Structure 1
Amino acid sequence: MPQTVWTILALIRWADERFKKEGMATPRLDAEVLLAETLATDRVGLYTHFDQPLQPDELTRFKEFIRRRLRREPVAYILGRKEFWSLPLRVTPEVLIPRPETETLVAEALKILAPAEGKDFHILEIGTGSGAISVALATELPAATVVATDLSPKALAVAEENALRFGVRERIRLLHGDLFRPVEKGDGFDLIVTNPPYIPRGQFASLMPEVRDYEPKAALDGGKDGLDFFRRVLPAVDEYLRPGGWFLAEMGAGQDPQILKIAEKNADLDSFAFARDLGGIYRVFKARKKYQLDADEHG
């Protein structure tokens, strides 16, 4: 019997079929990305050499990638990276994998800050994880300084690696601690930005296994209704903003009425608004700290 020759195209088809049987969302794409990583090429390179057979060591490495993916390990963790805001960021199982939806948060922040691009903005990110948001903002706003906090020292190590990789480490201060504890009241941030845990606890069982079984639960679990973070942060956020400063937070679908209700209890906030992601879902909540004149008039 002739031995099977495993060419690039044959392996893509084989892996695609395996992934389809497991009900994976993007079987062909996953197969191509993992094979491109094996061969140190890109997806275009696969098809320009589609009839090239793999060497035994390449085949061994690719099959190990496939085994990991069949256990539903996310592709980003297998590769050790994920692109966000056109930046190939380092990711590990200690950090949430950056999502395209979170780019809406960066875009909304830049709408507020970019018109005064040369200004030395002072930004706080709560729960930085991989540092995706902080690094993206620091690369877009060259005069800005960022304080990025996280409860996980391992996440902060990943954030530091990403800040170093993209040349913004000296403008990002990484602090360990929960919520506002690492910073001082009266620091007067121009922007506080966060992608908090907002998934209701009861929905965990129905999450995709890639998320449920591999990503850090602390970065996802928003409590019974997904709003624990907002209840803790919104009553105090004004104490850390300068007058006219903004708070922007990612949120889950359908959470806008409850978040608005929590925010309205803080008399020092106004200009409440929501921004939609590319799927048309409200994804970002925005609130501004009143200027003193506004507060006096409404006090």
Structure 2
Amino acid sequence: MIAESHRASQPEHLRVGLPQPRVIERWLCQALDRQGVIDPHERRAMLTDLYDRLECGEPLQYVLGTWQFRWIELRVDRRALIPRPETELMVEWILAELAGRESPRVLELGTGTGAIAAALAHELPSVSVVATDVSADALALAQDNIVSLRLNRCIDLRQGSWWEAVEEHERFDLICSNPPYIADTEWNSLDPMVRDWEPRRALTAGPTGLECYEVIFHEARGRLGGQQGAVVLEIGSSQGFNVRRLAIDAGFDDVVIHKDLAGRDRFLVARFR
């Protein structure tokens, strides 16, 4: 079951919805409580500042500074993409692929806040995760999250673009990623709350939106060990056919597209037998 969390369901094109005003006020007050702000005058001034940030279009998640992802609380800011509800469901498909494996080894490409890696380590204590990101800023945020959740013993954070951070001899039971998949031409049509605040390189992939998937599948099969390896990816709702073709061309013979809670194509699971 997907954990209940303090966020609204996200429609297409990565729009981040806002809950009711009373809910927002309660969350903002809770954020001040976590900071230990007690003085009523200071609280009033800081609360006004938080509302001003919302009025300027800053995402609620960044204003609060933390956001729930499944069963864990993450620090979030402009260094990395805000974890979405769809990605919570992606973790379910990863856990299903890892079921029955002893001490599975997972590679996450493009970890951002560290949400997927941290959720896996929290829910599957036997897992070992290598989590990479090209952004030093994003990795610093992920490090903060992993340390605060006391999961650093089973998560190895590395900086590098895609496969650059992975040693050639390393093999994994599962490779996962929620890569950038927005085409450059779609950038201007994104909701301003996303376009103006979240890091562009975590959202756009290139002219077609498929560029990151091409890089992933170029080496994915050779990086999987044993005979039961799998790749689990989040995809754009119109990309199922094309990403499935990339997986098949890369040698995967069991490729399935799964839908999100809104009934849209959202996840790809690729295996080779």
- Bin the TM-score by the shorter chain: 0.7 to 0.9
- Residue 235 of structure 1 aligns to a residue in which SS? helix
Q: Distance in 2 between matches of 1:180 and 1:208?
A: 31
> What corresponds to 1:72 in structure 2?
57
Q: Letter of the aligned partner of 2:19 in structure 1?
A: T
Q: Deviation digits for residues 203-243 of structure 1, max 9, x if unmatched?
A: 21121222101111110002122111011221221111113
> What corresponds to 1:259 in structure 2?
243
Q: Letter of the aligned partner of 2:224 in structure 1?
A: L
Percent identity over paired residues: 35
The counterpart of 1:135, out of the listed 103, 106, 118, is 118
> What corresponds to 1:288 in structure 2?
271
Cα shift at 1:34: 2.0
Give the TM-score normalised by structure 1.
0.80
Is the counterpart of residue 81 in structure 1 residue 69 in structure 2? no
The counterpart of 1:189, out of the listed 156, 164, 172, is 172
The counterpart of 1:160, out of the listed 143, 168, 181, is 143
Cα shift at 1:55: 3.0
Give the conservation status (yes or no) of the 8 Å contact 1:235–1:263.
no
Is the counterpart of residue 270 in structure 1 residue 264 in structure 2? no
State the structure with bigger RCO (CA 8 A, min sep 6), 1 or 2: 2
Give the conservation status (yes or no) of the 8 Å contact 1:129–1:150.
yes
Give the conservation status (yes or no) of the 8 Å contact 2:27–2:64.
no
> What corresponds to 1:93 in structure 2?
78
> What corresponds to 1:234 in structure 2?
217
Give the conservation status (yes or no) of the 8 Å contact 2:129–2:156.
yes
Number of residues of Structure 1 aligned to a counterpart in Structure 2: 252
- Residue 168 of structure 1 aligns to a residue in which SS? coil
Q: Distance in 2 between matches of 1:174 and 1:56?
A: 41
Give the conservation status (yes or no) of the 8 Å contact 2:183–2:205.
yes
Gapped regions of structure 2 (runs ≥ 5): 1-16
Give the TM-score normalised by structure 2.
0.87
> What corresponds to 1:106 in structure 2?
91
Q: Letter of the aligned partner of 1:281 in structure 2?
A: R
Q: Distance in 1 between matches of 2:20 and 2:52?
A: 14
Cα separation, partners in 2 of 1:168 and 1:35, compared to 1, 3 Å = closer
> What corresponds to 2:9 in structure 1?
none
Q: Distance in 2 between matches of 1:284 and 1:166?
A: 27
Q: Distance in 2 between matches of 1:111 and 1:77?
A: 31
- Residue 268 of structure 2 aligns to a residue in which SS? strand
Gapped regions of structure 1 (runs ≥ 5): 1-23, 42-53, 291-299
Give the conservation status (yes or no) of the 8 Å contact 2:235–2:268.
yes
Q: Letter of the aligned partner of 1:33 in structure 2?
A: W
Pairing of 1:22-41 with structure 2 (within 5 A): 25-28=18-21, 29-38=23-32
- Residue 280 of structure 1 aligns to a residue in which SS? coil
